Amino acid sequence: MEQKRYGHFDDQHREYVITDPQTPWPWINYLGNEDFFSLISNTAGGYSFYKDAKFRRITRYRYNNVPMDNGGRYFYIVDESNLNSQTSNLKPTIWNPGWKPCKTPLDFYECRHGMSYTRITGRKNGVEASVLFFVPLKKWCEVQKLTLKNESSEVKQLKLFSFEEWCLWNAATDMENFQRNFSTGEVEIEGSTIYHKTEYRERRNHYAFYHVNAPIQGYDTDRESFVGLYNEFADPQAVVEGKPRNSHAHGWSPIASHYIEVTLQPGESKDFVFLLGYIENEQDEKFEAPQVINKKKAHALIAELDTTEKVDKAFAELCEYWDALLNIYKVRTGNDKLDRMVNIWNQYQCMVTFNFSRSASFFESGVGRGMGFRDSNQDLVGFVHQIPPRARQRIIDIASTQFPDGGCYHQYQPLTKRGNNDIGGGFNDDPCWLIFGTVAYIKETGDFSILDEMVPFDNQPGSEVTLFEHLKISMDHVINNLGPHMLPLIGRADWNDCLNLNCFSWDPNESFQTTENVSEGTKAESLMIAGLFVVTGKDYVQLCKQLANRPLTSHPSPLTSSFFAEEANRMQQAVDAMIDAVKKHGWDGEWYLRAYDFYGRKIGSNECDEAKIFIESQGWCTMAEIGAEEGLVAKSLDSCKKYLECEHGMVLNNPAFSKYIYEYGEISSYPEGYKENAGIFCHNNPWVIIGECIAGRGNDAWSHYAKILPSYVEEKYQTLHKVEPYVNCQMVAGKDAFKPGEGKNSWLTGTAAWMWYTVSEFILGIKPDYDGIRIDPCLPETASDYTVNRKFREAEYDITIHPNGQQKGVKSITLDGNPIDGTVIPYSPGKHTVEVTM
Ligand code: GLC
Ligand code: GLC
């Protein structure tokens, strides 16, 4: 096994430290927490956008480029101190702190990815250049604080060039509509600030700027003038010649580059604050003179960050913000690999997936998908404890894209919050996830008032009903769409976007996900939705029982206690009926079936030639405990170990499909071992792990968990794994793949939230509940005592757990020294100490 390492964790600073710029793939980080965002790689590649990576792209980025990850915010340092006409060395040393794009070998390189910031440091010939990149809280800009330090004993005369390339706002048309794009570009230059104002004259009321807090001796705003048509980012002509062109872009490709001459005495260091900002103006305040943009807001923003002190303060605030967020759930187990994932990286990735859903990463181009209905509800569960009000708003936004029959848009755009017509709806698992997300929110906050919020259908004003009504029709959507076995009809697909049982496509130009060549008369049913329905149905019943004691008061007709009591009853019956249907028609002998196809034939059965067993239905039906008494749960979990598990995790199905099956769709289009065709789709491993926890099998739960836990992978095989070792990726190539263990599609994956939900609630066993915190760990026998410090609403609990070699089962709990009945610590504000004996 390859053992090369490219970096290591620094837990004290909550950083991952990359020590070799030539990582097996760009290892990235995210900057920004709310409106202004950037992606940044370990060599400073990437881009920025405001709210929406498709509609408000600020800087340009070329995906799948050659070389990979070319383009970003680059600083070029031209050091002429080694020029010597006697030795005929006439070429200055030109280098970048992040090694790329010049790739001049550095004397030292380090990239520290931290919580919403990245610090890249390079050293060459006695000069150190260190750049701190971050987006200050509540500000629409990326700060790049560059510190140049002369560590040599000679005076250094340096030439510094900055570089950013503007995107013409809409990232999709920016890459295709060149007959227009090459004529629209417009900029303004004022002092040390370069403004990008393409299309500002007409329907846009926003512009961007790139500023530095020092006088400049030149600039460039036209790409070809700066780079040269036959040069590259690695050797821009202006840089190579050490001479800016002072170009003014008119059309073509506008960029922003500052030129600064820097003299550094031995030991001297200087800071430069570069700011990449975004501004919106009111329609009637767009211009300060004909054709001249109103720069008032830009000036104000610059003034807030124009000194090292102001920037350092903004950075300290960002760090405090993360301190507070990561102080909400803190574990101490003594196992660094577990603690760092729980306390730092898993929670961090949850924030990132909450912010971006599946829109912008180095695998998601930012133009394809907005916020997914099911994805965002799941992401929320990993984030709700961090900033509940944002989760609340998200639930309302998501529910606003639902249709009156309970179906929903599969995706929406973050900028407009409107449902996405290109993809539409018809994914029959979608509605259930709204319950999953909402219940998590209420349990965390105790805020039942969210159910009283008036929420429209398909964003149509006038169509509002309460959020509770949205939950009700979500459940009903499943009940109203049952197939011949009384199991849920699958629609276009369930959670597995690639199991397309009504698609029937022989046409490569058709999308698997939006094509339903035949759906009339379909019998295609999903056992995954069946399990999901039982789990969320039980949640719904429990919620109604809560509401029976605190009826909803407001709009438009108040719902009474007796309504909720009846509703709980009604849904319990539907859940029981579903459980019966699964036991009757969904059990294959050793595991749960996956589905019935269009014709009513079994999918995921021992009778099938390939793909005899699938993970999704094992996960959901074991979480739902369907047939636990009859031993079905234990058998299903054993089958996961026997048929799905491998060195790197559990594969999605086994054996892999070796040919395209017209009746199944996209799943069988992938090569063996990749993606939904028997890849280790990390997202669904936690479902089985939770199933294990509910069944009390702590050793098995832990062994599955550790296999896909990044910190374990980090230690074992960085080269093979390829993608960032500090976060989960969506897919690791499965046992049937050409290269088992190779990871792909890092960062934006439901895995983050599910790993968090699994470890925080089911393994470590700290579960928010309506009336307090339920304690129910499920651990490997080897677990030693551990503590969890949990802030919960207005309370803080210091919880110590003594496992005593038990995998499951709490024997006794004391709260502030007094024994309590049961396993729920009743909520009360203030600080509390809890001791748990298993
Ligand atoms: C992707 C999608 C998610 C889907 C999964 C399985 O991660 O974002 O919605 O459930 O693939 O197909
Ligand atoms: C593809 C992928 C799947 C993803 C979907 C999103 O089908 O295989 O993982 O969810 O695209 O559109």
How far apart (Å, rounded) are the C-alpha atoms in residues 623 and 639?
15
Cβ(675) – ligand 2 distance below 6 Å: yes
CA of 101 to the centre of ligand 1 (A): 34
Asked if residue 803 lies in contact with residue 779, where contact means CB atoms within 8 angstroms, the answer is yes
Q: Are strands 187-190 and 93-95 parallel, antiparallel or unpaired?
A: unpaired
**Which ligand ends up closest to the CA of 615?**
1
Contacts of 784 (CB under 8 A, 6+ apart): 333, 334, 803
**How confident is the model at residue 134, as a pLDDT?**
98
Structure tokens at 64: 């799948």
Burial 147-157 (b: 16+ CB within 10 A, else e): bbbbbeeeebe
Asked if residue 727 lies in contact with residue 710, where contact means CB atoms within 8 angstroms, the answer is yes
Contacts of 84 (CB under 8 A, 6+ apart): none
pLDDT tens per residue, range 136-159:
999 999 999 999 999 999 999 999
10 Å Cβ neighbour count for 673?
A: 24
Q: Which atom of ligand 1 is nearest to the CA of 683?
A: 7
Contacts of 312 (CB under 8 A, 6+ apart): none
The label of the residue with tokens 């004691």 reads 549
CA of 361 to the centre of ligand 2 (A): 15
Asked if residue 479 lies in contact with residue 574, where contact means CB atoms within 8 angstroms, the answer is yes
CA 207 from centre of chain: 27
Q: Omega of the bond prior to 67 within 30 degrees of 0, cis?
A: yes
pLDDT tens per residue, range 667-700:
999 999 999 999 999 999 999 999 999 999 999 9
Q: Which atom of ligand 2 is nearest to the CA of 731?
A: 9
Ligand 2: which residue has its CA nearest to atom 4?
497
pLDDT tens per residue, range 413-431:
888 899 988 889 999 999 9
DSSP tag of 478: H
pTM of the entire predicted model: 0.97
**How confident is the model at residue 819, as a pLDDT?**
98
**Which ligand ends up closest to the CA of 368?**
2
Cβ(497) – ligand 2 distance below 6 Å: yes
Structure tokens at 234: 């690695």
**Which ligand ends up closest to the CA of 683?**
1
Ligand 2: which residue has its CA nearest to atom 10?
497
Cβ(374) – ligand 2 distance below 6 Å: no
Q: Greatest CA separation found in the chain?
A: 96
Ligand 2: which residue has its CA nearest to atom 3?
497
Cβ(689) – ligand 2 distance below 6 Å: no
Q: Which atom of ligand 2 is nearest to the CA of 423?
A: 12
- Ligand 1 binding residues, C-beta < 6 A: 358, 372, 374-375, 495-498, 676, 730, 749
Cβ(667) – ligand 2 distance below 6 Å: no
The label of the residue with tokens 């698997």 reads 512
CA of 682 to the centre of ligand 2 (A): 14
How confident is the prediction for the chain on average, in pLDDT?
96
- 71 pLDDT band, cuts 50/70/90, is very high
Q: Which atom of ligand 2 is nearest to the CA of 497?
A: 10
Cβ(676) – ligand 2 distance below 6 Å: yes
Please say if the pLDDT value at position 559 is more than 90. Answer: no
Please say if the pLDDT value at position 440 is more than 80. Answer: yes
CA of 534 to the centre of ligand 1 (A): 21
How far apart (Å, rounded) are the C-alpha atoms in residues 65 and 248?
27
Instruction: Give me the numbers of helices (H) and strands (E) for the chain, helices first please.
Output: 20, 44
**Which ligand ends up closest to the CA of 666?**
2
Contacts of 566 (CB under 8 A, 6+ apart): none
> In Å, what is the CA distance from 234 to each residue of 47, 260, 629, 774?
18, 19, 66, 57
Please say if the pLDDT value at position 554 is more than 70. Answer: no
**How confident is the model at residue 370, as a pLDDT?**
83
Question: Phi first, then psi: what are they for 813, rounded to 5°?
Answer: -135, 135
pLDDT tens per residue, range 254-269:
999 999 999 999 999 9
